[in-house]
């Protein structure tokens, strides 16, 4: 198992290198540059040109990449072009806790809601409950995050004032856990919604499969209570495919966070990503690309390891 | 069973850890001791005059970048710099220069020496006194060989700045420059006692700019939470008097839709730049009022005069005749603006609309185009000449609803005279790169200029600015060039105005742009905000005098 994990980690290196090359190339191929944003009659074009020169933005793309890579390998992500002098790593680290909080809470939310619903659906297939869970989850899959987010803001924040319209905490108010949670509920729910639907469906079909197995009948015949049969013997086996799916969902959490953070003004790395893209803040964009790629890769790694733990049939 | 327990542990641990992390970063904002107490002590009788207290939350769709006036280039940063810093001169609502930290400014006979007397007793936020050293220090930065900011051109004419005594500074210019007094002297002053030992090359990236800016302005910097807000609090020793508001929080929102939702929910109190198309909606929100006025800007349709299609002045005039600008203002903008004829705002002292005008007249447009040799010889409804069709694209930037609508309206209107104008909407940064040097990759474009309080058309219309400057339409008129060069030397306002009257006549006659309209600006604020005065250029004009009626 240890050698498997080491092998997996080693494989990550060329993968990350590839990601950075592709990202850098795409970023540079996209039209626009940070100096263009200074379109202002009081700033002379010569001054803008000096800006490009000073940050090496006029160098050939491959030179820029190699310079960036060299610095990055020494742990230096550079400084922002827009927020002059602020280290990229500091900007990302300021925002990271918010994103982690959002992702962890929405993940837990989606697990807590979808797995029980999937199991209930599976144990009573074709019942009214099953149908309503199915219909709801299809709505969840079909509704885009941004749309659901806007509707929730409109109904629960603007019209009814039950929740804040956005932000991570109330301005000018003392820190409180409750205030934090209050701000967290809507964005976490929206982020969880799309995956909730998928997870419910996967749990349902996987459990349906498991329920028919012989060992379930054996367990029942031994006189275990139905709940124990389902949740102890059934669920553990039923969750194996769900874990794989779950690992694959982590990248989509990061992608979803970009949209959700933007809508809810949730000051995390997703929002930073969007803003930096529009400002052509290349060092920040590259820093974020590297860090989110690491996240995705680690997410997949964790999924594989969990798989190994949960499924005794798999050997490494 | 054991494994399940372990995984639960893992999950709970991550959760606790992440809450802890966020709590840590959230901590500094919460422990702010200047938490505003509700001003309950005030009695009803006192309610007539200005009242002390209150927090104003200001919404902005742009995030600030750096709080140093010699290095920042965006509006959000300069908004906040306006709270923190102060300048020698500023401008009143009619854009006349007024004294701020300067007591007086004397100009020598030859117009090359400016002597500034400073007010005494002005304090920096850290208690130090403001003196001539600070002025000399600040103005020396952009002249330093190692200066790497983007504001060098504003100080080009300045040759030297010297301290005469603690409260007198002398500026020497190498050539006459009409903009030196109103523009260069209005730059915010930086504290010498804090920054004097920082090498100029490192000043742009110094911590002072983002973590601890110190100024002489009405508000002290408290905190900047990246991506969330910037907070400032009243400076007790402000030389123009203690500000009435306790704190200002400059809150960053992702876009205008979020801004409007937050205004409605009461999460934002003050917002500038709300588009005219949304203003009726905002007015219906309770507890909110809207103040509007003409903004210091104009929107235009510019023609790439490198392109054969637009080289002939008659063709440009014909297109202006073919465009119903009144209809654009009344239908696209709900009447929220004024038709423009010159590249200067009616608010400016130099404004003069005694110029050739090209009103909406389809027949006139058709005959001018015929004079220029354009005929529909193949009967497809589109004019042609030498086998080339009169067809071009009109680019504009994405995200500005009014401009996006205008390019579509232009397509319809120009079709009437046999011109095909195809709309193309491009993301901002890409748009700017495409249209400006060295690409000039466009036929025509719809864009706007935000104007300086001091009118000067040199950067935009002078021939020397074609290759690398802002004259990206390649307009050239040697006569106009000469007049613009001469105007730069005129220090008297009336003479300057007379010189510009001629320049505007020429520009209007040549139609390098079709000047479309002057937009209104709208500012949303609490219904009980008092002391607010409209200033077309400054959203937060005299903010130390604003107060909230309880």
HSE (side-chain half, CA atoms, 13 Å) at A126 = 0
- Residue B76 CA to residue B275 CA, distance in Å, equals 17
Question: How confident is residue B47, by pLDDT bands cut at 50, 70 and 90?
Answer: low
* Pure H helices in A124-164: 128-142, 145-152
Record: contact B65-A262, CB cut-off 8 A: no
Phi, psi of B121 (to 5 degrees): 80, 10
DSSP string, B97-130: EEESSEEEEEE-TTS-EEEEEEPSS-B-TTSPBP
- The candidate with the shortest Cα–Cα distance to B454, out of B482, B480, B491, B479, is B491
Say if residue B40's pLDDT is above 80. Answer: no
Q: Which of A26, A27, A40 to mutate to test the interface with B (most CBs of B within 10 A)?
A: A40
Long-range contacts of B256-259 (CB under 8 A, 24+ apart): B256/B61, B258/A165, B258/A166, B258/A263, B258/A265, B259/B59, B259/B61
pLDDT (tens digit, 9 = 90+) per residue, B421-476? 999 999 988 898 899 888 899 999 999 998 988 999 998 999 998 887 889 999 99
- Residue B500 CA to residue A304 CA, distance in Å, equals 73
- Residue B521 CA to residue B276 CA, distance in Å, equals 8
How many A-B residue pairs are in contact by the CB < 8 A criterion?
197
- Residue A222 CA to residue A228 CA, distance in Å, equals 12
Q: Which of B35, B209, B265 to mutate to test the interface with A (most CBs of A within 10 A)?
A: B265
B window 20-59, beta carbon within 8 A of A:
21-27, 29-31, 35-36, 55, 57
> How far, CA to CA in Å, does B305 sit from each of B316, B466, B513?
10, 10, 10
- Residue B14 CA to residue A93 CA, distance in Å, equals 17
Residues 6+ apart with CB under 8 A from B500: B344, B350, B352, B455, B457, B487
Nearest C-alpha in A relative to B65 = A83
Record: contact A175-B432, CB cut-off 8 A: no
| ipTM of the prediction | 0.81
Torsion on CA atoms B293, B297, B300, B304, rounded to nearest 10: -170
- The candidate with the shortest Cα–Cα distance to B151, out of B96, B73, B218, B217, is B73
B window 147-206, beta carbon within 8 A of A:
148-154, 183, 204-206
> How far, CA to CA in Å, does A51 sit from each of A35, A87, B73?
7, 18, 12
**Chain B residues near residue A40 by CB distance under 8 angstroms:** 73
Beta-bridge partner residues of B514:
B301
Q: Which H or E run contains B279?
A: helix B279-283
Structure tokens at A53: 């020169």
**Chain B residues near residue A32 by CB distance under 8 angstroms:** 427-433
CB B151 within 8 A of CB B70: yes
Quote the DSSP letter at residue B544. G
Q: Pairing between strand B420-426 and B391-397?
A: parallel
Phi, psi of B531 (to 5 degrees): 85, 0
Angle between helices B401-415 and B313-322 (to 10 degrees): 100
Phi, psi of A91 (to 5 degrees): -60, -45
- Closest CB to A101: pick one of B18, B154, B262: B18
- The candidate with the shortest Cα–Cα distance to B410, out of B319, B297, B315, is B319
Residues 6+ apart with CB under 8 A from B352: B342, B344, B497, B500, B501, B504
Record: contact A271-B470, CB cut-off 8 A: no
Compute the residue count for chain A. Answer: 316
> How far, CA to CA in Å, does B483 sit from each of B36, B505, B548?
56, 11, 49
Quote the DSSP letter at residue B184. G
- Residue B286 CA to residue A161 CA, distance in Å, equals 14
User: Of residues A312 and B67, which shows the higher confidence score?
Assistant: B67
**Chain A residues near residue B73 by CB distance under 8 angstroms:** 37-38, 40, 43
CB count, 10 Å around CB of B383?
Answer: 22
pLDDT at A9: 78
pLDDT at B108: 93
Structure tokens at B458: 């040199």
Record: contact B261-A161, CB cut-off 8 A: no
- Closest CB to A31: pick one of B22, B151, B430: B430
Q: Which H or E run contains B513?
A: strand B513-526
Record: contact A84-B226, CB cut-off 8 A: no
- Residue A265 CA to residue B238 CA, distance in Å, equals 34
- Residue A68 CA to residue A27 CA, distance in Å, equals 13
CB count, 10 Å around CB of B232?
Answer: 25
- Residue B316 CA to residue B302 CA, distance in Å, equals 10
The three-class DSSP label of residue B43 is: coil
CB B56 within 8 A of CB B244: no
Residues 6+ apart with CB under 8 A from B331: B409
pLDDT (tens digit, 9 = 90+) per residue, B17-37? 444 443 333 333 333 333 344
Point out the least confidently predicted range of A187-191, B9-13, B385-389, B392-396. B9-13
- The candidate with the shortest Cα–Cα distance to B238, out of B215, B214, B218, is B218
Say if residue B11's pLDDT is above 90. Answer: no
| Residue entry with tokens 């600030």 | B64
Q: Does B281 touch chain A (CB under 8 A)?
A: no
Q: Pairing between strand B337-339 and B513-526?
A: antiparallel
- Residue A87 CA to residue B211 CA, distance in Å, equals 13
Nearest C-alpha in B relative to A47 = B150
CB B115 within 8 A of CB B133: no
Nearest C-alpha in B relative to A98 = B22
B window 331-370, beta carbon within 8 A of A:
none
- Closest CB to A272: pick one of B4, B149, B227: B227
Q: Does B78 touch chain A (CB under 8 A)?
A: no
- Residue B536 CA to residue B453 CA, distance in Å, equals 9
pLDDT at A314: 66
CB A284 within 8 A of CB A269: no
pTM: 0.83
- The candidate with the shortest Cα–Cα distance to B362, out of B333, B422, B402, B322, is B322
Record: contact B261-A48, CB cut-off 8 A: no
Question: How confident is residue B407, by pLDDT bands cut at 50, 70 and 90?
Answer: very high
The three-class DSSP label of residue A212 is: coil
pLDDT at B32: 37
- Closest CB to B63: pick one of A45, A177, A275: A275
Nearest C-alpha in B relative to A90 = B226
DSSP string, A78-110: -B-TTTTT-BHHHHHHHHHHHHHHHHHHHHHHH
> How far, CA to CA in Å, does A280 sit from each of A38, A82, B539?
12, 8, 27
* Regions of chain A with pLDDT less than 50: none
Say if residue B38's pLDDT is above 70. Answer: no
């Amino acid at each position: 198992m240890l050698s498997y994990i080491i092998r997996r980690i080693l494989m990550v290196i060329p993968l990350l290198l590839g990601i950075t090359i592709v990202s850098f190339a795409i970023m540079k191929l996209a039209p626009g540059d940070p100096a263009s944003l200074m379109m202002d009659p009081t700033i002379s074009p010569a001054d803008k040109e000096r800006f490009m020169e000073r940050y090496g933005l006029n160098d050939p793309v491959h030179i820029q990449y190699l310079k960036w890579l060299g610095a990055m390998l020494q742990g230096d992500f550079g400084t922002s072009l827009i927020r002059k002098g602020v280290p990229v790593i500091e900007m990302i680290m300021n925002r990271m806790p918010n994103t982690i909080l959002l992702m962890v809470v929405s993940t837990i939310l989606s697990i807590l809601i979808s797995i029980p619903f999937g199991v209930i659906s599976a144990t009573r297939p074709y019942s009214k409950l099953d149908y309503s869970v199915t219909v709801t989850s299809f709505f969840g899959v079909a509704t885009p995050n941004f749309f659901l987010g806007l509707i929730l803001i409109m109904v629960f924040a603007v019209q009814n004032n039950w929740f804040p319209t956005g932000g991570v905490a109330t301005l000018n108010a003392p820190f409180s856990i409750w205030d934090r949670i209050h701000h967290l509920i809507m964005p976490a729910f929206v982020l969880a919604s799309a995956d909730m639907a998928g997870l419910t469906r996967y749990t349902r079909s996987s459990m349906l499969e498991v329920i028919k197995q012989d060992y379930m009948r054996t367990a029942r015949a031994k006189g275990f209570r139905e709940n124990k049969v389902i949740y102890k013997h059934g669920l553990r086996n039923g969750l194996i495919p769900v874990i794989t799916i779950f690992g694959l969902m982590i990248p989509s959490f990061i992608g979803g966070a970009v949209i959700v953070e933007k809508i809810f003004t949730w000051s995390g790395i997703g929002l930073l990503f969007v803003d930096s893209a529009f400002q052509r803040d290349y060092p920040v964009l590259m820093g974020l690309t590297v860090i989110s790629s690491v996240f995705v890769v680690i997410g997949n790694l964790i999924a594989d390891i969990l798989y190994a733990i949960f499924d005794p049939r798999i050997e490494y | 069973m054991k494994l399940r327990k372990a995984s639960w542990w893992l999950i709970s641990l991550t959760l606790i850890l992440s809450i802890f992390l966020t709590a840590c970063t959230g901590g500094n904002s919460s422990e702010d001791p200047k938490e505003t107490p509700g001003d309950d002590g005030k009695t009803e009788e006192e309610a007539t005059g200005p009242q002390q207290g209150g927090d104003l939350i200001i919404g902005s769709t742009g995030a600030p970048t750096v709080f140093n006036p010699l290095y920042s280039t965006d509006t959000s940063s300069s908004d906040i710099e306006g709270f923190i810093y102060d300048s020698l001169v500023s401008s009143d609502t009619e854009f006349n220069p007024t004294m701020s930290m300067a007591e007086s400014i004397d100009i020598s006979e030859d117009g090359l020496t400016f002597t500034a007397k400073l007010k005494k007793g002005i304090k920096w936020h850290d208690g130090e006194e403001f003196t001539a050293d600070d002025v000399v220090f600040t103005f020396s930065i952009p002249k330093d060989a190692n200066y790497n900011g983007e504001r060098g051109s504003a100080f080009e004419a300045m040759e030297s700045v010297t301290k005469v005594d603690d409260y007198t500074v002398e500026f020497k210019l190498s050539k006459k420059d009409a903009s030196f007094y109103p523009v260069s002297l209005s730059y915010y002053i930086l504290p010498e006692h804090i920054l004097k030992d920082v090498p100029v090359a490192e000043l742009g990236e110094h911590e002072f700019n983002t973590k601890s800016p110190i100024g002489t302005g009405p508000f002290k910097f408290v905190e900047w939470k990246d991506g969330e807000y910037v907070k400032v609090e009243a400076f007790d020793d402000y030389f123009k008097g203690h500000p009435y508001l306790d704190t200002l929080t400059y809150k960053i929102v992702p876009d205008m839709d979020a801004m409007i939702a937050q205004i409605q929910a009461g999460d934002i109190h003050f917002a500038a730049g709300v588009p005219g198309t949304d203003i009726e909606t905002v007015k219906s929100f309770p507890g909110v009022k809207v103040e509007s006025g003409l903004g210091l800007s104009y929107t235009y349709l510019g023609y790439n005069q490198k392109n054969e299609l637009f080289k002939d002045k008659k063709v440009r005039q014909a297109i202006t005749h073919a465009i119903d600008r009144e209809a654009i203002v009344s239908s696209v903008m709900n009447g929220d603006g004024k038709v423009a004829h010159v590249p200067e705002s009616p608010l400016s002292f130099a404004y003069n609309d005694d110029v050739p005008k090209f009103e909406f007249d389809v027949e006139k447009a058709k005959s001018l185009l015929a004079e220029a040799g354009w005929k529909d010889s193949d009967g497809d409804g589109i004019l042609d000449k030498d086998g080339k069709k009169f067809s071009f694209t009109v680019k504009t930037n994405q995200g500005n609803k009014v401009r996006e609508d205008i390019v579509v309206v232009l397509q319809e209107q120009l079709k009437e005279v046999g011109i095909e104008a195809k709309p193309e909407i491009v993301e901002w940064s890409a748009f700017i790169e495409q249209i400006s040097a060295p690409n000039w990759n466009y036929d025509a474009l719809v864009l706007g200029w935000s104007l300086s309080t001091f009118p000067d058309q040199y950067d935009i219309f002078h021939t020397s600015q074609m290759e690398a400057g802002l004259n990206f339409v390649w307009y050239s008129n040697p006569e106009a060039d000469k007049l613009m060069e001469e105007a730069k030397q005129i220090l008297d306002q009336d003479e300057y105005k007379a010189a510009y009257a001629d320049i505007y006549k020429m520009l209007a006659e040549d139609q390098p742009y079709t000047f479309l309209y002057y937009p209104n600006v709208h500012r949303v604020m609490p219904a009980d905000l008092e002391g607010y005065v409209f200033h077309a250029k400054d959203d937060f004009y005299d903010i130390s005098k604003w107060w909230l009626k309880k």
